[in-house]
Amino acid sequence: MIKFRYILILSIFTIFLSCGSDNDSGVITNPTPTFLGELDFTKTFGGTRNEIGNSIVATNDSGYAILGYVDSADGDVMNRTTNDSDFLVLKYDANDNLQWQKSYGGSKDDRGNAIIQTNDNGFALIGFSKSNDGDVGQNEGNSDFWFIKLSPSGDISWKKTFGFLGNDFGTSVIQTSDNGFLIVGELDVTSSGGQGNSRLINRHAGGDFWAIKLDASGNTEWTKFFGGTFTDTALDVIQTEDNNFIILGTSDSSDTDISDPKGDYDFWIIKIDSTGKLIWEKNLGGSQIDKAAKLTKTSDGNFICVGNTRSSDKNISVNNGGGDLWIIKISTNGNIIWEKTYGGTNFDDGTSISPSKNGNFILVGNSRSTDNQFSNNGQNDAWILKISSEGNTIWQKFIGGSNIDLLHDVIELDNENIVAVGESNSNDIDISENKGFSDLLIVKIK
């Protein structure tokens, strides 16, 4: 029987807090226990090498699909004979049965970062590829963006690579209101020689946010990069109600497109119009390292960003330890409505956020803390956190074994069950089996 621990916390209703206000850290004292949810299962998928789940999407048949990458050619893994990395997609039905698994790639390393279901009930995948053979067919440098359009059954409909001589990698994709796609990631501008904009202008250096707009058939409509002379990595994107786009990422630049840097690394948020023109940009963070992960829309038309912070000044009102999960609610103009940190005295990280019913949110990450109402079975435990629309903790759970267990993405299904995906090195306590070095981890709460 799977053992699990839960921490149940009474939500405290507060007014919205601005950045300059006295801010609650998200740790609630004297909780009143209430039974909220239970762990349905943990599952591991893998062989004798590395398998990792990076992204999950709810599907129209009440199931879900997972994207990550696979190194193994044994164990649970089918139809592979080599040990290079390939994109891996797992499709599950509404009863958590695996319907199909597919891997995609060439003879070098190819790793998937994000999956969405498309309007035709197929899927779109984004990540990077170092191959120029097999399913890939073309590579312009070290690594390229690799975009794959799949049928509902997982067959490749078409695919595209984008990149130049350096390390270029895709991190997120959305289907746009015109049935096309916008993909984002990082462009190695130095190695590209300034290529990557629709016109050769605004040449920067280092790595920049790179946005590529495709039509429904995968034809490029425009490409634009944004950033400064150091490293700027786009990590997530959404389309706004006015048919523009907001892109979230991390930046350590302090020039060119970046106007107000806060510290070593900041959350950097930009809004661009439907043609890729920069509308506004914002740096959020403190004087230390603050790294973004994901963003989502709120029910009142604003946005929430999640990641981690090591700062305790400027935009961050409280830091509980080495690093905290940091969540920020921003307006449509990028101004902070409220911000909160969650964590103990060790390092705690937020990696993804998903809307929940009644305007609430589900977050995932991992934790090393053992105080401030945190517990830990090993080095890192998987962490699932539900918060209210105001950012108050409703409940949180820690799941893991004696080694490293991480969650990278989460969804809430129509029946309000929660499914999260990540990776595990454990084979004890909450994790019943490990097939290799790192297994793809699936956690379900109902």
Burial of 142 (0-12, 13-18, 19+ CB in 10 A): middle
Total number of domains constituting the chain? 1
Structure tokens at 346: 């060790």
267 beta partners: 250, 284
Residue 168 φ/ψ, nearest 5 degrees? -115, 130
Confidence of residue 16 (pLDDT cuts 50, 70, 90): very low
Q: What angle do CA 8, 14, 16 make, to 5 degrees?
A: 125
Burial of 29 (0-12, 13-18, 19+ CB in 10 A): exposed
Could you tell me if residue 72 is inside a domain?
yes
Could you tell me if residue 71 is inside a domain?
yes
Of all residues in the chain, the percent with pLDDT exceeding 90 is 86
Confidence of residue 404 (pLDDT cuts 50, 70, 90): very high
CA dihedral of 222, 223, 228, 233, whole degrees rounded to 10: 130
Q: Which amino acid is at 193?
A: G
Could you tell me if residue 59 is inside a domain?
yes
What pLDDT does 272 receive? Answer: 98
With a cut of 80, say whether residue 109 has pLDDT above it: yes
d(CA 353, CA 320): 21
Find the range with the poorest average confidence among 199-213, 244-258, 323-337, 395-409: 199-213
* Biggest CA pair distance of the chain: 60
Q: What's the mean pLDDT in 249-261?
A: 96
Could you read off the pLDDT of 303-357 as tens digits, one per residue?
999 999 999 999 999 999 899 999 999 999 999 999 999 999 999 999 999 999 8
Q: What's the mean pLDDT in 42-63?
A: 98
What pLDDT does 311 receive? Answer: 97
Asked if 9 contacts 393 with a C-beta cutoff of 8 angstroms, the reply is: yes
User: Which CATH number does the domain housing residue 265 bear?
Assistant: 2.120.10.30
With a cut of 60, say whether residue 20 has pLDDT above it: no
Mean of per-residue pLDDT scores for the chain: 91
Structure tokens at 49: 């090498």
Confidence of residue 37 (pLDDT cuts 50, 70, 90): low
Could you read off the pLDDT of 215-236 as tens digits, one per residue?
999 999 999 999 999 999 999 9
What pLDDT does 202 receive? Answer: 61
For the chain, the three-class secondary structure string (H helix, E strand, C coil) is CCCCEEEECCCCCCCCCCCCCCCCCCCCCCCCCCCCCCEEEEEEECCCCEEEEEEEEECCCCCEEEEEEECCCCCCCCCCCCCCCEEEEEEECCCCCEEEEEEECCCCCEEEEEEEECCCCCEEEEEEECCCCCCCCCCCCCEEEEEEEECCCCCEEEEEEECCCCECEEEEEEECCCCCEEEEEEEEHHHHCCECECCCCCCCCCEEEEEEEECCCCCEEEEEEECCCCEEEEEEEEECCCCCEEEEEEECCCCCCCCCCCCCEEEEEEEECCCCCEEEEEEECCCCEEEEEEEEECCCCCEEEEEEECCCCCCCCCCCCCEEEEEEEECCCCCEEEEEEECCCCEEEEEEEEECHHHCEEEEEEECCCCCCCCCCCCEEEEEEEECCCCCEEEEEEECCCCEEEEEEEEECCCCCEEEEEEECCCCCCCCCCCCCEEEEEEEEC
Q: What's the mean pLDDT in 51-68?
A: 98
Confidence of residue 139 (pLDDT cuts 50, 70, 90): very high
Q: What's the mean pLDDT in 190-218?
A: 87
With a cut of 90, say whether residue 203 has pLDDT above it: no
Q: What's the mean pLDDT in 27-51?
A: 73
Could you tell me if residue 407 is inside a domain?
no
With a cut of 80, say whether residue 21 has pLDDT above it: no
Could you tell me if residue 419 is inside a domain?
no
Could you tell me if residue 3 is inside a domain?
no
Confidence of residue 13 (pLDDT cuts 50, 70, 90): very low
Show Cβ contacts of residue 88 under 8 Å, excluding neighbours closer than 6 positions: 51, 66, 67, 68, 69, 70, 77, 101, 102, 103, 112, 440
Q: What's the mean pLDDT in 158-180?
A: 97
d(CA 385, CA 395): 6
Confidence of residue 19 (pLDDT cuts 50, 70, 90): very low
What pLDDT does 35 receive? Answer: 37
Could you tell me if residue 212 is inside a domain?
yes
d(CA 336, CA 323): 20
What pLDDT does 36 receive? Answer: 59
Q: Which amino acid is at 46?
A: G
Confidence of residue 200 (pLDDT cuts 50, 70, 90): low
Of all residues in the chain, the percent with pLDDT exceeding 70 is 91
Confidence of residue 6 (pLDDT cuts 50, 70, 90): very low
What pLDDT does 137 receive? Answer: 84
* Overall pTM surpassing 0.75 (yes/no): yes
What pLDDT does 43 receive? Answer: 97
With a cut of 60, say whether residue 29 has pLDDT above it: no
Could you tell me if residue 152 is inside a domain?
yes
Confidence of residue 201 (pLDDT cuts 50, 70, 90): low
What pLDDT does 89 receive? Answer: 98
Which residue range(s) make up the domain with 298?
A: 50-381
What pLDDT does 10 receive? Answer: 34
Confidence of residue 38 (pLDDT cuts 50, 70, 90): confident
Asked if 263 contacts 290 with a C-beta cutoff of 8 angstroms, the reply is: yes
